[in-house]
Amino acid sequence: MCGIVGFVGSEQAAPILLDGLRRLEYRGYDSSGIAVCGDCELRVKKVRGRLDVLSELTHQGADLPGTLGIGHTRWATHGEPNDVNAHPHVSSSGRIAVVHNGIIENYMELKNQLIQKGYTFRSETDTEVVAQLLDYYYDQCGDFFEAVMCMLNAVDGAYALGIVCADYPDRMYAARKDAPLLLGYGEGGNYIASDVTALIRYTRDIAYMDDGELAILSAGGIRIYDRQMRPVEKEHHHVDWEIDAAEKGGYAHFMLKEIMEQPRAIRDATAARIQNGRVVFSDLNMTPEQIRAIGKIYIVACGSSYHVGVVGKYNLERMLRRNVEVCLASEFRYSDPIVGEGDLVIVISQSGETLDTMAALREAKKRGARILSIVNVVGSSIARESDDVLYTWAGPEIAVATTKAYSTQMALLNLLGVYFGDIMGTVDYETYTDMVRGIQALPEQMEEILLRREEIHTLAQECAHHEDVFFIGRNLDYALSLEGSLKLKEISYIHSEAYASGELKHGTISLIEDGTLVIALSLYDPLFDKAMSNVVEVQARGARVLALTIDRRAAAMAERVPMVLPIPETEPMLQPQLGVVPLQLLAYYIALERGCDIDKPRNLAKSVTVE
């Protein structure tokens, strides 16, 4: 997704912008550019492709002298990825440059109005309209601040904007609505960025902009205004993520590093929430009465976060003895959902910025539901708009394919189930203690699996040549197979599907032929025999089966299946927490064998802030 960095201060801006953009590369992008103001002149360089190209083109920024600048990595939404459509966009006068994340919904209408006034457009983007509008208003009123205000009043849609004007080489403007943007307070100057990762090398003192706010940054300070142009005092946050935590730490890929971090991440997410064997959510504002009074429960999310929700549905229904609806956020928002006062909507998001999830949250909130979100990025939009936030504390997740965020989201959902079930009186003492002990033991059991990663690498080598893979499982194994399949397809580009095993015979089994790879999940022990008969069923059609099962069942499985991957056993409801680790590793090593760009798979972005 698009990334924004901006700097104003006493140092040269271009090297800071290039470095900041490099740290945002993980968000996914197809082009990049920077604009720098120096000697009352605006210099812009932008280009399609990797940042290295931009860096080379500008001689590592040396060609663009000046201490004020904005930079951007673009992920195309309007207009194909090319040099012209890349940001920054510059007004016709050549004096105003803009970087933008989001979508200006009324840009066609504004563009037509400006064309009638004699403006010509170079790009196909919605963003160029912002630059030209600023030009127009500045021309009309002669005051740039007023021009920015008029532009903000005219545009509809979502935006995080960084704006510079050559006539004001000592200040930068930033505005936000429905797209993330934060301010960084530094020693030698001040910053804007769409993501804290871009700034931690320069400052750890940050403030999150809220919707409707406008900031004016200079070397000496930052002034912030609300929609009514009243000055705003922002709460400052200290970022304690280490730079190292945002880099690869010795692993070949961020994805592997993040897989390996999972025992630590699970410990961080759960340890402080379990005290003397009891689940304690000091970060939850709901009273026991409110918890007992919960009406319907929805879980709403996208992608892997949605897959956590599918696991959550099985487990919460089991622990709370009530219906739990799990919905794709992109469907929920347009489904006229039957949700209202007294209902609880659990929103799950790593980034806290996924637009579909955000829109679903707002829809549910508008209808009166209480929003409890499970989020990784502190201070993100979803976190800020929720009634209750449980942070996963997984640390920055850089690889596009999520791993540790998935695991920690699931751990929190499981803990929440135990906690709610206890209050609602639906979880008995034995289940409560088994679940709590099980959660506490997860990090060590995960470490055991991680130590055997070379074994999984060998299996991956045997599977890497397949072009079609089916993941099958029942119940929690089905829920987990959804994630196993997504992990594999998104990073290895192998076509893969996840099926509830019992559903195969209703059509899909016709696709199984000699040599088709079927990854059979048989971790949910109450249904081991059923899983076994599905294995036999696909083998009879020629499938090559790789079975994932618990240690205790490995021998029985090995009697029928040549490739068996056994993992430690835990509470059946917690088994997906362990099962996901070998599936992540399998996907990782298969993608490695196929020479794929693992951390930045094609066509994907880490944070999906468009619809």
Catalytically active residues, by annotation: 2, 606
> Is 407 a residue that touches ligand M6R (CB under 6 A)?
no
Out of 349, 392, 575, 577, the residue judged to bind ligand M6R by CB under 6 A: 349
Q: Which is nearer to ligand M6R, 302 or 535 (CB)?
A: 302
User: By CB under 6 A, what part of segment 182-211 binds ligand M6R?
Assistant: none
Q: Does 498 bind ligand M6R (CB under 6 A)?
A: no
CA distance 414 to 543: 34
Whichever of 315 and 354 has its CB closer to ligand M6R, that residue is 354
Identify the residue among 400, 504, 532, 565 touching ligand M6R (CB under 6 A).
Answer: 400
Chain centroid offset of residue 348 CA: 10
Reading the block at residue 269, the tokens are 């997410």
* Backbone torsions φ then ψ of 48, nearest 5 degrees: -75, 145
Query: CA neighbours within 13 Å on the CB side: how many for 278?
Result: 6
CA atoms within 13 A on the CB side of 606: 31
Nearer to ligand M6R, 527 or 587 (CB): 587
Residue 223 Cβ, how far from ligand M6R at the closest point, in Å?
31
Those residues with Cβ within 8 angstroms of residue 358's Cβ, 6 or more apart along the chain or in another chain: 178, 381, 382, 385
Instruction: Decide if residue 357 touches ligand M6R (CB under 6 A).
Output: yes
Least distance from C-beta 182 to ligand M6R, angstroms?
Answer: 17
- Distance, CA of 523 to CA of 370 (rounded, Å): 34
Which stretch in 89-97, 314-322, 345-353, 542-550 sits in contact with ligand M6R by CB under 6 A?
345-353
Beta bridge partners of 189: 9
Q: Is residue 488 near ligand M6R by the rule CB under 6 A?
A: no
The closest residue (CB) to ligand M6R is 303
Name the residue nearer to ligand M6R (CB basis): 55 or 194. Answer: 194
The answer to whether residue 125 forms part of the interface with ligand M6R (CB under 6 A) is: no
Number of residues near ligand M6R (by CB under 6 A): 15
Q: What angle is formed at CA 216 by the lines to CA 214 and CA 218, rounded to 5 degrees?
A: 160
Strands 31-38 and 68-74: antiparallel
Question: Of the ranges 187-195, 268-276, 347-355, 462-470, which one interacts with ligand M6R (CB under 6 A)?
Answer: 347-355
Contact status: 408 vs ligand M6R (CB under 6 A): no
Q: Cβ 304 to ligand M6R, closest distance in Å?
A: 4
Q: How many angstroms separate the CA atoms of 584 and 485, rounded? A: 10
Task: Tell me the longest C-alpha to C-alpha distance in the chain.
Answer: 82
DSSP structure class, residue 231: B
Q: Nearer to ligand M6R by C-beta: 148 or 413?
A: 413
Q: How far is CA 572 from the centre of its chain?
A: 28
- CA pair distance 94, 13, nearest whole angstrom: 19
Residue with tokens 């594999």: 488
**132/403 with CB nearer ligand M6R:** 403
Identify residues 305-324 at the interface with ligand M6R (CB under 6 A).
Answer: 305
Which listed residue (71, 303, 395, 421) binds ligand M6R by CB under 6 A?
Answer: 303
Phi, psi of 216 (to 5 degrees): -120, 120
Our CB check for ligand M6R shows the closer of 46 and 307 to be 307
List the one residue from 128, 261, 477, 490 that touches ligand M6R (CB under 6 A). 490
Q: Does a cis peptide bond (omega within 30 degrees of 0) precede residue 88?
A: yes
Which residues are at the interface with ligand M6R (CB under 6 A)?
Answer: 302-305, 349-351, 354, 357, 400-402, 490, 607-608
